[in-house]
Structure 1
Amino acid sequence: MASNVKVIFLFLWSLQYGEGQVNVQQRPPIQVALLKEEVSIPCKVTFPYMMKYTKFSIFYYWINPVGKKTFISSKSMEIHIPPGEENRTTTQSYNLKLKPLESTSFTGTYYCEVKWNDIVKMGRGVFVLARDTGYIQTSYRWEILITLTTLLAALSITGTALLLWKRKVVCPGRNQLLNTLRHKVETQPPSASPAPATPTYDCLDSQQVDVYSVLGSNTDKPSCRRSPPGKTPKKQETLEESFDTLYENI
Structure 2
Amino acid sequence: MKTGKFLLVALRPADGAGRAEYLDFLEASGLEKEELDLLTVARPDTVLPNLGEYAGVFVGGSPFNVTDLEHSDLQKHSHDLLYQVLTSSVPALFTCYGASYTAFTFGGLVNRDFGEKAGVSRVELTNAAQLDPVAQVLPPCFGALTGHKESVAILPRHASLLASGPTCPVQMYSIGSRNWVTQFHPEMNAAGLLRRMSFYANDGYFLPEEVEEIKRTIEAADLSGVALIIPRFVDYALEIFNAREKAFHNA
Name the TM-score class by shorter chain: under 0.3
Taking CA–CA contacts closer than 8 Å with sequence separation of 6 or more, which of the two structures ends up with the larger relative contact order? Answer: 2
The structure that has the greater radius of gyration is 1
TM-score (norm 1): 0.17
